[in-house]
Amino acid sequence: MNTKIYMLGTGTAVPIKRGLPCIVLKIDSDLYVFDVGEGCQQRMFSMGLGIVKIKSIFITHMHGDHYLGVFGLLQSMHLLGKKNGLTIVAPPELVDVLNHMIELKLTKLTYDHEICVVKEGEVYSDNKLRVYAFPVDHSIPAYGYSILVKGRNQIVYTGDTAPYEKVVEVAEKSELLIHEATFTSRDRREAYEEKHSTAADAALIARKAGVKQLVLTHISPRYSDPYEVFYDAYRYFRNVVVAEDNMVLFL
C-alpha cells in the first residue's frame, strides 16, 4: 500500500505563522483526517487531495482550533457530490452539534454517514487500518489516536497533552509518534500550566517508548526559528523532525 502523511496544519490556536491543526493520512486513494482546524480543506485542495475521498474524520477535543473547520469541510463534500460513506469520531458535544445541524437541515450529508462519540478503545476499522483512541492529559477531556495500518505500521498522534505516561504505553515501539510540542523548555512552566508539552518532553517520551521517529507539531508562533524547537528535542531523541505546514511524510 502507498501510505503518506500530510501535515497540513502544524500551529496552535491562532494561525499567525502556521495553519491550524490538521493531519491527513492517505492510504492509496483513501483519506483519513485527524483534527480539522479552520483552513484545512483549502490546504487539502492545494496539496491535490480530493476531499470526496475522505473516509473518516477523527477529532481529538473541543478546542476550536481542532474542530471548527469540520463544518465547511462537510458542506464542500456535499457540493462536490461525495458518494462514498463517511465516519466521524468526535467528542460528545460535537456529535450533538452535528446531529442537531443535520436535523435542522443546516448541514447536508447526502451520503451514508456515521457520527460516533470518541471513547477509549477501537473507534474505527476498515480493510486498510484500525484506529484506537486513548485519553491524554489536557485542560479539557481529550484523546489521542493510535493507527495500525494493515496491522504493522503503528502511527500515534497525541493531539494536545501534557507529558503523560499513557502516551509512552500506547506508542511503545511504534513507527511514528506525532507529538505536540507547543513550547520549548525555556517556557516549561507555562506549558505545564496550560497542560501542554515541551519539545524536550516529547523527545523523552519518544525515547522511553522506543519509537522509530518523532514528529513535533502544534508549534507556538513565539518560536520564529524552528531550530530552537528542534534542538530542545534533539538533546534527548535524535530521529526527530519539526513539522512544517504541507510537509509530507512517507511510510
Main-chain phi, psi angles of 20, to 5 degrees: -70, 155
Provide the b/e sequence for 48-62 (b: ≥16 CB within 10 Å).
ebebbbbbbbbbbbb
pLDDT on residue 174: 97
Q: For the chain, what is the mean pLDDT?
A: 96
pLDDT on residue 107: 85
Q: Which residues contact 87 (CB under 8 A, 6 or more apart)?
A: 55, 56, 57, 113, 114, 115, 116, 124
Interval 175-184: pLDDT, tens: 999 999 999 9
pLDDT > 90 fraction of the chain, expressed in percent and rounded: 93
Residue 109 has pLDDT above 90, yes or no: no
What average pLDDT does this structure show over 81-105? Answer: 95
**Domain assignments of the chain as residue spans, ordered by start:** 3-250
Which residue numbers are catalytic?
65
What average pLDDT does this structure show over 45-63? Answer: 97
Predicted confidence band of residue 242 (pLDDT cuts 50, 70, 90): very high
Residue 204 has pLDDT above 90, yes or no: yes
Residue 151 has pLDDT above 80, yes or no: no
Interval 120-139: pLDDT, tens: 999 999 999 999 999 999 99
Q: Provide the CATH number for the domain formed by 3-250 in this structure.
A: 3.60.15.10
What average pLDDT does this structure show over 217-246? Answer: 97
pLDDT on residue 187: 98
